[in-house]
Amino acid sequence: MILAIDQGTTGTTCLVFDESAQLAGRAYREFQQHFPRPGWVEHDAGEIWDTTIAVAREALADGGVGDGELQAIGITNQRETVCVWDPETGEPLHHALVWQDRRTAERCDELRAAGHEALVRTRSGLVLDPYFSATKIEWMLANVDGLRDKAQDGRAVFGTIDAWLVFKLTGERRTDVTNASRTMLFDIHRGDWDDELMALFGDVPRAALPEVLPSIGEFGTLRGGVLGAGHDGVPVSGIAGDQQAALYGQGCLEPGLGKNTYGTGSFVLLNSGESVPTAPPGLLATVAWGIGERTIYALEAAIFVTGAAVQWLRDGLGIIEAAAETGELAASLDSNDGVYFVPALTGLGSPHWDPYARGTIVGLTRGSSRAHVARAALEAIAYQAVDAVRAMESASGQPLAELRADGGATANAWLMQFQADMLGVPVAVAELAETTALGAALLAGVGAGAWTQDDIARRDTAGARYEPQMGDDERAELMGQWQRAVQRAGGWARG
């Protein structure tokens, strides 16, 4: 049996897979989101740990995994979110700053104005944006009392969520190359922390950063009975950031294959092989995974808010009780009646990269209802994916033949059909929606010797398939109106 820990933005999912990579057990719990100021988003790393352990134990019990039957653990995680902890006590030294957090937007503007964008872009493959970890670490070093001294003395460790979980599970200070590549402190060409970038972002001490390893291999072994004494010594043998894990789980192991994961945000990744891709404005170059001495790269489009917009309809506005209602509400209308929702609740990602954009609903009339808002939220998920795919097609010079899709929103048949209609190509939905967790399990299984890379490549991941049914004129009209709405949302917080 293999345990996959999928530590996400709003909750932790743990899945257990058998020797045939078939699902054998599962568990899930949400945890609290903290919003201390507008644009600030934090998590309690201690709560994440407690939730993760509880969910892991529940999943192992659900899968009937006995002592000696667990072969390996894989971890996948929300990326860019950064924790800081005391390596002696194992206690967090501040709340984790979440990838959605925008408090360092002005700092990114300063660095861009000072001419540092080219260095960041060339070394890390990323853009100067508060989305990534580096300015979050810089903020904590400058604003948490005594933290800089602790970091310099080896009494504080900064790490993405995977590194936090690895430390708590095994005692090791290690991360994988995919997560390191999202910090803006990592040279994706050399595969190491970059001294110039560390100096640029507040003189981050190298000793305060974890060791970087390939995505497949041993990161440490369970200790202290964290999952029960019978599982001590089991290796953590596969780690990848959530989007890279989904790319692996979708079987996109060859250059030119790509996917979109519909989660809190949506992320389109295209396997680029063993060469760092040239990413045009609005797209990112990132590490797909590391296997031994080989590093595989990907071109990425990052969309910040998709599923989170539906969650906001539920928790913020209270106009739905469950996400599943949105499909029924959308289908109750013959059209959107000119209502568009730009869910720039934490700015806009690819291909716009506007941290000052804010959520906007346009086209409302007295006849508008909650069905219009729900439909607009679903349509926005699809429109944003189209924007991302078109930018990627332009960069690669190749049209998309089909979109491989995974994530929770793929259960919404109305959305998947609308996505196919707006793209004009088929959408192939993965058989298992939790492809991110599957990818972590597959990485761990290869790392532990349960499977080979060829075994992964031969897997059939196909589930439902949606063919486009919309005409070109209707598609062009909808996208044109969407672009008008995006223009209204742009730069709003800047005044």
Contact 251, 289 (CB under 8 A): no
Give bridge partners of residue 348 from the DSSP assignment. Answer: 354
User: What residues does each domain of the chain span?
Assistant: 2-243
Instruction: Give the confidence band of 53 by pLDDT, cuts at 50, 70, 90.
Output: very high
Other Cβ atoms closer than 10 A to 368: 16
**Which amino acid does the sequence have at 475?**
R
Q: Cβ(101)–Cβ(327) under 8 Å? A: no
**C-alpha angle 243-244-247 in degrees, rounded to nearest 5:** 90
Residue bearing the bigger pLDDT, 392 or 471: 471
Q: For residue 187, what are the CA distances in angstroms to 196, 226, 275, 353?
A: 10, 34, 14, 21
Strand, coil or helix: 444: helix
The least confident of 5-9, 113-117, 265-269, 415-419 is 265-269
Tell me the three state secondary structure of residue 442: helix
Lowest mean pLDDT among 62-71, 104-113, 140-149: 62-71
For the purposes of burial, counting CB atoms within 10 Å of the CB of 4, is it exposed (0-12), middle (13-18) or buried (19 or more)?
Answer: buried
Residue 268's nearest CA partner among 281, 259, 277, 276 is: 259
Cα–Cα distance, 290 to 160 (Å, whole number): 17
CB count in 10 Å sphere of residue 177:
25
> In the structure encoding, which two tokens stand for residue 383, read together?
């429109």
3-state secondary structure of 275: coil
pLDDT (average), residues 371-384: 96
189-226 per-position pLDDT tens digit: 999 999 999 999 999 999 999 999 999 999 999 998 99
pLDDT digit string (tens) for 298-318? 999 989 899 999 999 999 999
Which tens digit of pLDDT belongs to each residue from 232-246? 999 999 999 999 999
Q: What is the pTM of this model?
A: 0.84
Answer yes or no: is pLDDT of 429 > 80.
yes
Q: Name the CATH superfamily for 2-243.
A: ATPase, nucleotide binding domain (3.30.420.40)
Q: Can you tell me the distance from the alpha carbon of 446 to that of 304, in angstroms, rounded to the nearest whole number?
A: 31
